Amino acid sequence: MKTMGQKFYIAVFLMISCIPVLTMPFVKFEGSYTVMSNKAKKPEVISGGQLNFQYFEELNDYLADNFNGREALIEANATLMENIFSTSADSQVIVGQNDWLYFSATLHDFTGKNLLTDIEIRQIAKILSLIAEYVQSEGAKFIFTVAPNKNSIYPENMPANYLASNQLTNAQQLTPYLDPSYYVDLFKILDDSEEITYLKRDSHWNNYGAYLGFLAIMDKLELETNFNILNKEVRQEFEADLEGMLYPASGHFDEQVYYTFDTDFEFLTRFKTVEDIIIQTESPTGTNRMIVFRDSFGNALLDFFARQFEYLEFSRAVPYQVFNAAEMDYVVIEIVERNLGNLLQTAPIMPSILRESNFDQDYLIAENVTFNFEERNDLKQVYGYFEIDPQIEVEQIELILHDGSIFEAFPILESKLNLESSEGIQGFSLYLSPELSFENMIVKYR
């Protein structure tokens, strides 16, 4: 039989173990990092006027995500893993050398594993060339730029057990296929900087790195900046994303560069954070109109572009609404290196480019074509796929309508098709006027 001391020890252990859950209705500790907002919500027994049969499953998720002290325990584990074992408690974070953290999604480029194929690289180049052609036909100037992965610029702080590949990265393979008139190469600019251009505990560049990117784009557009920087200082008050993944309960901050300017701008949209899907600004001292299709690396660019241009639209919407080029002087696409493959997922929304008849060229008629149709932004999207020999590389895809008009399609297999495999098929996607006739269409390719 258990002694009284053993029973007391077990009782105390159980009481302590229950404290985080039992105190939930009375005391609440919040983590400092915004990702915690994704925690499971408290379930309802009655949901939508009906009995919630998933209640206990949802309750289990709620308790697992919300018990008191959860963030502190996560942080204690992360501290132990980083400082004692030099490894990460979160699979999305890589603990590097000299107190640096890296985002694990960048490993494919760094190690040379699971890179895009040669065909996929050339398809991306084709997509960008079609966007550039349309933008320029609307009288605007086009810019495409890639924000380098952090470990592309600072590989020296990666853990020693991660070996950099000798293969060309996706960005390095893509560069030779891009027209230098619209491509802004930021790799050399950031690599040559004597001043640090990336945050140590975050996955993004710092404000200085973003400023160099802004200047490079202005240089390609042959524009002079119309504002001045009055002051520049470094303060340790930036809430870093990778830091927050490892240490959600702490108030640890990363060093960030902060600027003071001699001009200002106003928000035309209801601004919440730099992560807003659409941000529109106007500046009384700015000139011209620009739209920037961007990802989270664009957050740090806002301060510069919003001052430079009389009207600015910052868009995180996907697919890119390139048809807005008709109202702009400049169109910019910024995408981080690790996400280059996303350009193959969905076609930008813009009217397809009308082509002339080219019967003298060696085109093949596509067989077993699957068509899909969808109305969007006053345009009709025609997308689908056709069977093809996997060894054949398609350079151009065109859609011939019943009246003989020819439109070039993007070589994109739309992700919304949710196909289990893309082997042996070639995707296509384009937007046309809904007034056209879509009977008896033919797809040809070469």
On the question of pLDDT at 124 being above 90, the answer is yes
Query: Residues 42-56: pLDDT tens digits?
Result: 888 787 778 887 877
Please tell me whether the peptide bond between 25 and the residue prior to it is cis, using omega within 30 degrees of 0.
no
Residue range 377-403: mean pLDDT, rounded: 96
What band does 32 get if pLDDT is binned at 50, 70 and 90?
very low
* 3 state DSSP class of 106: helix
User: What is the pLDDT, as a whole number, of residue 78?
Assistant: 44
Return the structure tokens found at 358: 């080219």
DSSP, res 420: S
Sorted by sequence, the CB contacts under 8 Å of residue 414 that are 6+ apart come out as: 345, 346, 347, 372, 383, 427, 429
The dihedral built from the CA positions of residue 154, 158, 160 and 163, taken in this order, carries a sign that is negative
Rounded to whole angstroms, the Cα distance separating 386 from 155 reads: 42
Please tell me which of 15-19, 84-88, 325-329 the model is most confident about, judged by mean pLDDT.
Answer: 325-329
User: What is the pLDDT, as a whole number, of residue 35?
Assistant: 44
Domains within the chain, CATH numbers bracketed? 20-68 (no CATH), 101-344 (no CATH), 354-445 (2.60.40)
| Helix-, strand-, coil-residue percentages of the chain, each rounded to 5 | 35, 25, 40
DSSP β-bridge partners for residue 336: 147
Return the structure tokens found at 196: 């640090």
On the question of pLDDT at 159 being above 80, the answer is yes
Sorted by sequence, the CB contacts under 8 Å of residue 75 that are 6+ apart come out as: 246, 247, 248, 249, 250
Helix (H) or strand (E) holding 311: strand 311-315
Query: Distance between terminal CA atoms of the chain?
Result: 84
Rounded to whole angstroms, the Cα distance separating 99 from 127 reads: 39
Distance of CA 139 to CAs 67, 133, 327, 365, Å? 57, 10, 9, 34
Mean pLDDT of the chain: 89
Is the separation of the CB atoms in 248 and 33 below 8 Å?
yes
Rounded to whole angstroms, the Cα distance separating 267 from 289 reads: 15
On the question of pLDDT at 260 being above 80, the answer is yes
Distance of CA 214 to CAs 13, 180, 304, 409, Å? 58, 17, 7, 32
On the question of pLDDT at 88 being above 70, the answer is no
Residue range 310-338: mean pLDDT, rounded: 98
Per the document, the length of the chain is: 446
Task: Mark out the alpha helices in 23-54 (DSSP H runs).
Answer: none
DSSP β-bridge partners for residue 335: 146
Query: Residues 333-365: pLDDT tens digits?
Result: 999 999 999 999 999 999 999 999 876 678 999
What band does 65 get if pLDDT is binned at 50, 70 and 90?
low
